[in-house]
Amino acid sequence: MKGRSVVTRDSSSRTAIWSLGRKWIPTALGSSLLAWEIPVVVAIVARTSDGPTAVAAFGAGLSVLVVVNAPALALAPLVVLTMSKHGSRTLWKYAFAVGLFGTALIVLLALTPLTTNALGIPTELHGPLSICLLSFGLAPLAVALRRCQHGHLISSGRTSVIAHATILRMLGTVAAVVALWQAGLPSAAVGGLALTVGAWIEVTRLGWTVRRSATSPRPESEVWPGSENLFATHLRLSSTVALNMLPALATTVLIARAVDAETALIIWPVLYALVSLITVPLSDLEVVGSSHLTSGGDSTTVFGLTVMIAASLVILGAVTVASPVIHFYLTVANGLSQQLTETAYPWVVVLAAIPPLWAVRGYVRSLVLASGWTKFLVYSASMHIGGMTVSGCVLLTAGLPGLASAAFAMLTAIVAEIAFMYYLVVRRQRRDLFPRTHPAQQERL
């Protein structure tokens, strides 16, 4: 009987992990497809009449847009954490307000010369940048509604539609960028308008499903901790999103101060893009995990899924490093010379450790999110940036090359963030907040 009970529990655990994985996989596929959206748009914009100038303005405009979109991007975890307290109607109104604020801000930044002065871009790009930012005008509203929809779908377990909507978005974006190019619009506006059209196509598709899932606030006894103050919770989540966008800038500034800066600055964007392509699909792992926990699930299931993902990423990293895939990526896909490829290869090996650690980070963050202690996410993100900055400066002072300093700084930063969240936050309260077996399961056993 005892052996049969153990087998039953193991089978039940595998089923729970696979069920949670089915919720996460569509979000990962959606994020993976979106990671290719911008390169495709850039490739087409580069073929317009003012290609080089339009691409430069598009890149500068995106750097502004991602910061403006930080509050909108944080809406998915906000919906998951606060749905029980506020209900969907309040959250939809809040998301709409966040989107309108982002739209107003991006238009304001397009019309003021302070933006171009702050970025320090050449004078000939001032006009194209303003046009590009105006073309992004309705994008923040679309992003806010889209992330609110994602939160609703993750909470209800209906994430499969996210992948379908993302495919439609990609097709719509490509069709829009080609049509706008052929229509003879200013080159600087083509990329921004195409991305905005694609975002609204996704919002429209998701809206057909989400509008049927309105929920009301739950009784006070069923409200999860940390959902009391909507604005404060959102502010903390938004600040972590903004802080998480800083490593690209921080590592670039670090490399620029290295002795081999000229060579390293050519290689680093290629390596950073490779890491991003693998870590972007993990962006909603913490949201899916926290949704599972706030719905009464146990932490063992989230941990089991994390182990499976991390192990898969270790194998993927090993295969990529040991096979011709990495050579194809560096030389054929990105046009690096043989000498630059040889310089980059050792640091690909170091950076291969980051995606599995990113999965572990998602697991720990899901525990923190579900606990309601969102303020600790701000502290942990600050620890990430601080650890990267300090370790990078120390390594540069020690005489390491720029690529080595940046790679080890990224590795140090993520380890520091995970250690901070786990040992100072999760470990102390995990047994009380997230039992290994949910009480309902304990009764059945």
> 332-371 pLDDT, tens per residue?
877 778 898 888 889 999 999 999 999 999 999 898 888 7
Q: To 5 degrees, how large is the angle CA 60–CA 392–CA 338?
A: 70
Tell me how far apart the alpha carbons of residues 190 and 188 are, in angstroms, rounded to a whole number.
Answer: 6
Chosen domain end from 196, 225, 254: 225
Taking the CA atoms of residue 42, residue 405, residue 314 and residue 306 in that order, the dihedral angle to the nearest 10 degrees is -90
Rounded to an integer, the average pLDDT of 25-54 is 82
Residue 143 vs residue 35, higher pLDDT = 143
For residues 33 and 171, the answer to whether their CB atoms sit within 8 Å is no
Same domain, 270 and 185: no
Confidence (pLDDT) at 55: 81
DSSP, res 323: S
Both tokens assigned to 321: 């490093």
Residue 401 vs residue 427, higher pLDDT = 401
Both tokens assigned to 306: 């994390």
Q: Is the pLDDT of residue 221 over 60?
A: no
Confidence (pLDDT) at 410: 92
Does 193 fall in a domain? Answer: yes
Residue 3 has φ and ψ, to the nearest 5°, of -65, -40
Same domain, 77 and 214: yes
| pLDDT band of 441, cuts 50, 70, 90 | very low
- What sign does the CA torsion over 264, 265, 270, 273 have? positive
Q: Give the rounded distance of the alpha carbon of 92 from its chain centre.
A: 22
Does 142 fall in a domain? Answer: yes
Rounded to an integer, the average pLDDT of 23-48 is 83
Confidence (pLDDT) at 360: 95
Same domain, 440 and 300: yes
For residues 71 and 145, the answer to whether their CB atoms sit within 8 Å is no
Same domain, 13 and 148: no
Confidence (pLDDT) at 1: 47
Same domain, 1 and 51: no
Question: 59-104 pLDDT, tens per residue?
Answer: 778 878 888 898 999 999 999 888 877 788 889 999 999 999 999 9
Same domain, 167 and 255: no
Does 163 fall in a domain? Answer: yes
Does 26 fall in a domain? Answer: no
Share of the chain above pLDDT 70, in %: 88
Both tokens assigned to 37: 């959206």
Tell me how far apart the alpha carbons of residues 245 and 21 are, in angstroms, rounded to a whole number.
Answer: 26
Confidence (pLDDT) at 428: 59
Residue 254 vs residue 316, higher pLDDT = 316
Confidence (pLDDT) at 385: 85
Chosen domain end from 225, 260, 275: 225
Chosen domain end from 225, 254, 275: 225
Which residues, in sequence order, are CB contacts of 153 under 8 Å at separation 6+?
A: 159, 161, 162, 206, 209, 210, 213
Confidence (pLDDT) at 302: 94
Same domain, 212 and 282: no
| pLDDT band of 264, cuts 50, 70, 90 | confident
Residue 436 has φ and ψ, to the nearest 5°, of -60, -30
How many DSSP H helices and E strands does the chain contain?
A: 22, 0
Tell me how far apart the alpha carbons of residues 196 and 182 are, in angstroms, rounded to a whole number.
Answer: 18
DSSP, res 207: H
Rounded to an integer, the average pLDDT of 266-292 is 86
Tell me how far apart the alpha carbons of residues 433 and 217 are, in angstroms, rounded to a whole number.
Answer: 22
Same domain, 271 and 134: no
Same domain, 208 and 277: no
- Structural domains of the chain, count: 2
Both tokens assigned to 32: 């993976």
Does 202 fall in a domain? Answer: yes
Rounded to an integer, the average pLDDT of 278-294 is 89
Same domain, 314 and 427: yes
For residues 144 and 75, the answer to whether their CB atoms sit within 8 Å is yes
Does 233 fall in a domain? Answer: no
Q: Is the pLDDT of residue 443 over 50?
A: no
Does 421 fall in a domain? Answer: yes
Tell me how far apart the alpha carbons of residues 336 and 285 are, in angstroms, rounded to a whole number.
Answer: 33
Q: Count the helix, strand and coil residues of the chain and give each as a percent rounded to the nearest 5.
A: 85, 0, 15
Confidence (pLDDT) at 354: 94
Domain carrying residue 201: 36-225
Same domain, 172 and 273: no
For residues 187 and 48, the answer to whether their CB atoms sit within 8 Å is yes
Does 188 fall in a domain? Answer: yes
Q: Is the pLDDT of residue 212 over 80?
A: no
For residues 227 and 174, the answer to whether their CB atoms sit within 8 Å is no
First to last CA, the chain: 12
Tell me how far apart the alpha carbons of residues 251 and 313 are, in angstroms, rounded to a whole number.
Answer: 23
Same domain, 320 and 177: no
